[in-house]
Structure 1
Amino acid sequence: MPSFRPALWAGIVLATALLAACSSSPPTAPATSLLAPGVHQQSTQSPVADPVAGTASTRVAFTVFVPETPGPHTLVLIGGGFGEPRTAALPGPDNEPAASYWRRMQRQIPKLMARGHAVISFDYRGHGDSGGDLRMLDPAADMQDLRAIIDWAERHLHLARRASSTRADDPLVATMGGSYGGAYQLLLAQLDPRIDAIVPTMTWSRLDHDLLPDGVVKSGWLQLECFLGQRGKVRDDGRFVKLCGLAKPPQPATLDAVPPADARGYVDYLAGSGWQPWLRQQAPGRARPVDALLVQADEDVLFPLNDAFENYRSLKALGGDVRLITVRAGHVHSLAGQKNQAPVCGQAVPDAFDTMLDFLDEKLRNAPRKGLPVGTLCFATGERSAEWRADLPPDADPASPRVNIAAVEVAGAAPVFVPLSTPVPAGQVLLGVPRARLDVAGAPGSVALLGLGLRRTGQPPVLVSGQVTAVRPGQGRELALPAVAQALQPGDELGVMLWPTHPQFQHMKSVVEAVPVGGVLPGNAVRVSGQVWLPVTPSGGIR
C-alpha cells in the first residue's frame, strides 16, 4: 500500500490553488430562492476528476431542505458518518432524548428549518449517489466537492449575507455533523472562508492513534470499515478491502504480524486523514480562526476526549470563539455493555443538540447567547453531573495519585484490579488524561489491555468512561491513556484494570461472518509492572 503522505502534501498544494481560483469568481446570487419550500434532490459537478467514471469532474449528490419562512436564509451543511448515506427525506420528530446520537443528529434538520436555516445533507465522494473514490477527506478532492455544493447554493438559494462584510460572496454558512461528519468541518472551515461557524462532534484529531493504539488493531471498528468497503457502502481503490487482510485470524492483533510496507501504508493513510495533518503543514498565519462548538463523549470508545482536547487547543491557538461540551455516550460498543444515553452536561446543558442549534442561531442569525457562561467549558462526569472549567483539565503528572503495578500476571478470562494504595480525599473529581510508565512482558503478539477502574463499597470494580487501551510488550513504555471523566463519592476506590481480552479488541467474527478481522487472541497473557498516574483534581461542585 503506498504511503499517503506525498499524496497529502500534493493535495494541500492543489487545494490552495483551487481555493485561489474559486475565490476569484464568486457565484451570482439570486434575489429569491430558485427552489420552493420543501425537499429537493440535487447534484452538481466538482472540478476534481472522477477516476471511477473516468471523467474530468465528479458528480456530487445532495438534498436541499428549504424552510417555509421567506428568505434570505442562512445555510447549514450536515454531513453523515463514514459509510452513511445522506438524509434524502425529511426526518421524523426529535422526541427521543436517549435515542442513538446519530439518529438524533439527522432529526435536527426539521428543527433547523423551523429556525429559518436552509439545510443541505450530502453524499461524500465515494459514498451514496456521489461519484468518485473515497479519499478520507483529501483537501484537494473531498473538500473541493463540498465547496462546489456551497457554490451551487449561492447560485440557487436566496442566502443571507453578513452585513459587516465588504465581500459580495460572503453568505452566512455553518456546518454540523458527527464522527466523519465532524472531521470534514474542521478542514473545510480552513479551505473555504465562507464557513462562519462549525459544530464538529464525536470526531478525531489523530485517526491512527484511535484505530491503532500503540500499533494494536481496534478490531471492532476496523471490521466496520472492512464491512462497508466489501458491501460497496464506500468506494475507493480497494484499500479498505485490503485492510481486512491485515490481521485475519489466527494472526495476532498487532501490525507486527503484517508486512512492514503494508503496516506503514495503513498507518500513514490514517495519520494523513483530517485537519490536524493539514494544520501541521501550514506556515504561521496560514490557518484562520473559526468559531466552533466541539461536542465529545467521555464514553466514546472510538474517539475519546483526547481528540477533542487536541482539536480545542489547536482552534483556540488560532483565535475565534471556541467552546467545548462533553457528554457521556458517542460511539458505543454494545458488546462491551455500552448503551446510548441522552447528551447531557449537567443542569446547564440538558440537551446538547439544543445547545448546538442555539450556537448556530447565535453565529448565523445574531441571536443572544444561551447556556453556559462566557469562557466556560462543560465536562459531564455522570448522568446528571458536570464540572465547569475555564480551560481544559490538566493531564496527570508525577504529583498526581499513583497506582503502583508490581509484576501482575494477566491471563485467563477475568480482569485484574490494582487499587490505588491511598484513598482519594473528599471533594475530588477524576477528570483528564491519565499517564503511565509500564513494563510489559509477553510472547510475540501478546498485548496488555488496561483502563481505569472504580470500586464502590460492596460492589465489584467497573471500568471508568468505558475506555480501554492497548500496550505492546516493551520496557519503560511511557504513554497517555484515554481521557476520563467521573464524579467521585466518599469511599470510592480508584485503580487500574487489566484484561487478557476485551470486546473492544477481540475477534468479532460472529457479528459479521463475512468479515473476519484480527483481534486479541484467546490465550493472550502478559506480565505488567509500572505506574499509572490518575488525573484527580479538586471538584468545582456538581453542576
Structure 2
Amino acid sequence: MRGALVGAAILFLSACGSSDEVAGSGGGGGLTTNPVVESRAGEVYRQEVPVEKTGDTMVIQVMEPTQLEKGRTYPLVLQGHGYGGSRNIEPSGFQQRLRDAGYYVISIDERGNGESSGKVRVMSPDFEGQDLVGILDWAEDLEGLRRHGDGRMVVGSYGGSYGGMYQFLLAGTDPEQRLRVIAPDITPHDLVYSLNPNNVVKSGWGLLLTSAPELPLLGTLLGGGAPDPLVLLNSLLDILERGGTRQDNAIFEILTGAVVSNSFSESGNNFFKYHSVSYFCDGQPAGPQSFMLAQPDPLEVAPRPFAKIDALITQGFRDTLFNFNNGLENYECLKARGGDVRLLTHESGHILPLSVSTVPLPPGSNLEAALDPFYAALTLPGFQDAGGARSCGSLALDDMQFAWFEEKLQGKRGAVDAAMPIGKDICLSLAADDAITVRKVRRGGTSFEIDDSIPQFNSALGVVGAVLGNGAREALLATQPLYTAPAGGAVLAGIPTMSLNLAAPGGLGLDECTLPLGIGACDPILFLGIGHRKAGSTRWDLVDDQLTPVRGFGEHAGEMTGIAERLGEGDELALLIYGFHMQFPVTWSRDLLVPALTVGGSVQLPLLDPSEITRQGL
C-alpha cells in the first residue's frame, strides 16, 4: 500500500519519535513527503476518487487550510454525513474553524449517497470499507500533509450516526490502520442489537431507515429542519434519473422481510453483524449470507482487532435508535486496546418526537400539567419526547471535539483538559443542564421484586392495554411502582438489569405450544421500561424514552437499556410494561392464542451511592 512506501521513504528524516508521536507538534513544521512550495490561500474543491477494488467513484469535498504556508505541514480531518445525507459543499462553522486552525478537511459522500456511485449497503467492509480506504490512499498526496515519525499520515475523523460508523469501519478495514484519532457521536456498536433487540424488530425506525436515503427530506425533518418541497422533488427526480433506488436490495429484503415475518432472518442478522463495530471488537468470523434479490458480502475482511486508538465517544441518552449501551460498548472495546478513550453523553441523538409533550404551545403554557388528571384514565404511548442540546451539563461537545483534534493532531498539550476538566471520568447527562461524572458505569444495582399475581395483556389485548390510564394499569400490574426517592432525592444512572420469567397463565403449558413461531403460537412480546413519576403528579414518564423488549416464554436475564435521571424527594420509579408501543408499531406479538401472560422475577436499578459520583451538577 501507498502508506508503507511513504513510511519507508521518509524514515531517514527522523531518528527518533514513536509511531504515535505527532510530528511537528503545534508549530506547523514536521515531516511531509509533498512540501508546500509556495504560500497561497487555501481552496475548497470537488474531487472524484476512483476506487479500483470496488469500481466505485467516490466524490469528496476537499477543504484546504485557510492559508497554506511554505514549509508548514497540516493534519487531515475526515467528516462523514448521517444516513441518507451528503457531503458539505461549503465549510460548516466547525469545518471553517478547523481550516483556520491549520487543518485539511475532507467531507465525504458515502457510497450511494450524494454524487458517489454504488448502492448503500450500510457500511459493508467489502464495499464502503474499501471505498474509504481508497479515499485515504488518495489523500496521501495532499500538499504539506503532516506525518508521524514512522511515516503514517496524521489523520483524525468525526461525524455522527452513519458518520460515526464510517470511522470505525475505516479503522478496522484499512490494512495500514492509519486512522488512530476519532470522534464518533451517536454511533451503533452492534446493528443487530440496534435494529433487532432481543429478536424483536425495531419496526418504527426500520421503516424510516428504508426511506431515508431515497427521500433526503426525511433527514431534514429528523434533524429539525424546515420541510422543503424542492428537496423532496429533487430526490424523486434523482430516483427516476438513476432508474432505481440508492439502497442495495439487501437492505430492503432484510428490513421488509423482518416486518412481514416479525423476525430477522439468519442472513439479515449475519449481514448486519458483519457491518458492525462489534465485528472487529469480538473477533468472530462472519456468518453466511443468502438473499433472493441481492448480492451477499464477499466476506473478505477478517475481524482483526482495532489498533490503539484515541477516541472521544459521545452518545445520547434519549437516542431510541442507537442507545447509550452502544456508546458504552464502543468505549469499552477501544479502551481495552490501550488508547486514550473518553465517554460523554448528551440529551440529543436519533430523536423522532411524536408525543403530547412536543405539541407547540404559547409561551408559559404547559399542556402536560393541564392534562395530568387525564393520565389516570388514558396513556398515550408516543414514539418519544423531544431531545436537548449536544452538551453534557455545561460541557459543549463541539468545543471538546475541537480540543481533541488540537491535542491529538496538532500536539497542543493540555487542550483537552482545558475544554474537558473532568479528566478521564465518564460524563452522564441527567437533563439539559445537569450532569454527573463517574469513574465506571454501574450495571444493575438495587433489586426490586416483580409481582406476578395478575396476568399481563399480550397481542391484541396488549394494544388495548397500552392506552389504559395509570389507575387501570396499576390495578392490572402493568405499571409496578418500585421505589420512592428519600429526602434529598437520588440519582438513577447506568444500565438496569433484569431477571424475569414469562409464563403462560391459566394452565396453558409450554408443551401445548405446538405451532411454529412464524404462525404466532406461544410467541408473546412485551416492552419494558422504567417510569418516573414526579411527586404530586399522576403521570408516569418513560425515562429517556427507552424500552427493552422481551420475547417468548421462559427466563429472560441481562441488561436493559441505559438511562439517567435525577429524582427529587418523593419522586417514584416503576416498571412499565407495554404490549404495544409506537417504537415497534408493527412488530408487537401476533399471538392471538395467548392473550395474556404472567411476568415474575426482579429488576435491578442503578441507583447511585454518593460515593460513586465524582462530580455533581456539571
Give the TM-score range, shorter chain. 0.7 to 0.9
- Tell me which amino acid in the other structure corresponds to 2:59: A
- Tell me which amino acid in the other structure corresponds to 1:374: G
1:418 aligned to which of 442, 461, 480: 480
CA distance in 1, matches of 2:591, 2:385: 22
CA distance in 2, matches of 1:177, 1:284: 23
Counterpart contact for 2:484–2:573, Cα < 8 Å: no
Alpha-carbon distance, 1:520 to partner: 6.3
2:117 aligned to which of 131, 150, 157: 131
CA distance in 1, matches of 2:249, 2:183: 31
CA distance in 2, matches of 1:121, 1:68: 16
CA distance in 1, matches of 2:421, 2:4: 40
SS at match of 1:451: strand
2:189 aligned to which of 202, 205, 209: 205
Alpha-carbon distance, 1:122 to partner: 0.7
Distance of aligned partners of 1:196 and 1:472 in 2 relative to their CA distance in 1, 3 Å threshold: closer
Counterpart contact for 2:547–2:561, Cα < 8 Å: yes
| Higher deviation after alignment, 200-209 or 528-537 | 528-537
Alpha-carbon distance, 1:457 to partner: 1.1
Distance of aligned partners of 1:228 and 1:383 in 2 relative to their CA distance in 1, 3 Å threshold: closer
SS at match of 1:195: coil
Deviations 1:433-470 (A, max 9, x none): 11112233577454201110111111111111110121
Counterpart contact for 1:436–1:479, Cα < 8 Å: yes
2:256 corresponds to 1:245: yes
Counting only pairs closer than 5 Å after superposition, residues 320-469 of structure 1 correspond to structure 2 as 320-335=339-354, 336-347=383-394, 349=395, 351-367=396-412, 368-369=414-415, 370=418, 371-391=420-440, 393-397=441-445, 400-406=446-452, 407-410=454-457, 411=462, 412=464, 413-414=467-468, 416-420=478-482, 426=488, 428-440=490-502, 444=521, 446-459=524-537, 460-469=539-548
Deviations 1:488-534 (A, max 9, x none): 21111111111232121114xxxxxxxxxx56679995434122111
Alpha-carbon distance, 1:176 to partner: 0.3
Counting only pairs closer than 5 Å after superposition, residues 228-377 of structure 1 correspond to structure 2 as 228=212, 235-248=246-259, 254-255=262-263, 263-281=265-283, 287-335=306-354, 336-347=383-394, 349=395, 351-367=396-412, 368-369=414-415, 370=418, 371-377=420-426
- Tell me which amino acid in the other structure corresponds to 1:538: D
Counterpart contact for 2:156–2:179, Cα < 8 Å: yes
Counterpart contact for 1:432–1:483, Cα < 8 Å: yes
Name the residue aligned to 1:52. Answer: none
Alpha-carbon distance, 1:425 to partner: 7.3
CA distance in 2, matches of 1:80, 1:215: 29
Q: TM-score, normalised by structure 2?
A: 0.71
Counterpart contact for 1:126–1:234, Cα < 8 Å: no
1:499 aligned to which of 560, 565, 578: 578
SS at match of 1:504: coil
Query: Which structure exhibits the higher relative contact order, with contacts defined as CA atoms closer than 8 Å and separated by 6 or more residues?
Result: 1
SS at match of 2:6: coil
Counterpart contact for 1:128–1:234, Cα < 8 Å: no
Counterpart contact for 1:173–1:194, Cα < 8 Å: yes
Name the residue aligned to 1:141. Answer: 127
**Root mean square deviation of aligned Cα:** 2.8
CA distance in 1, matches of 2:563, 2:427: 14
Deviations 1:368-423 (A, max 9, x none): 232223222211111211111123x12105xx231423245233223642111565
Counterpart contact for 1:47–1:144, Cα < 8 Å: no
Name the residue aligned to 1:478. Answer: 557
Name the residue aligned to 1:80. Answer: 81
| Higher deviation after alignment, 236-245 or 310-319 | 236-245
Alpha-carbon distance, 1:362 to partner: 1.2
Unaligned runs of 5+ in 2: 8-31, 216-238, 285-301, 355-382, 505-519
Name the residue aligned to 1:177. Answer: 159
Deviations 1:105-125 (A, max 9, x none): xx5222222322221111122
Distance of aligned partners of 1:475 and 1:198 in 2 relative to their CA distance in 1, 3 Å threshold: same
- Tell me which amino acid in the other structure corresponds to 2:282: R
Counterpart contact for 1:427–1:538, Cα < 8 Å: no
- How many residues are treated as equivalent by the alignment? 473
Alpha-carbon distance, 1:359 to partner: 0.9
SS at match of 2:529: strand
Name the residue aligned to 2:179. Answer: 195
SS at match of 2:90: coil
CA distance in 1, matches of 2:140, 2:437: 40
Alpha-carbon distance, 1:201 to partner: 0.9
CA distance in 2, matches of 1:421, 1:148: 55
| Higher deviation after alignment, 532-541 or 486-495 | 532-541
Name the residue aligned to 2:26. Answer: none
Name the residue aligned to 1:103. Answer: none
Distance of aligned partners of 1:334 and 1:487 in 2 relative to their CA distance in 1, 3 Å threshold: same
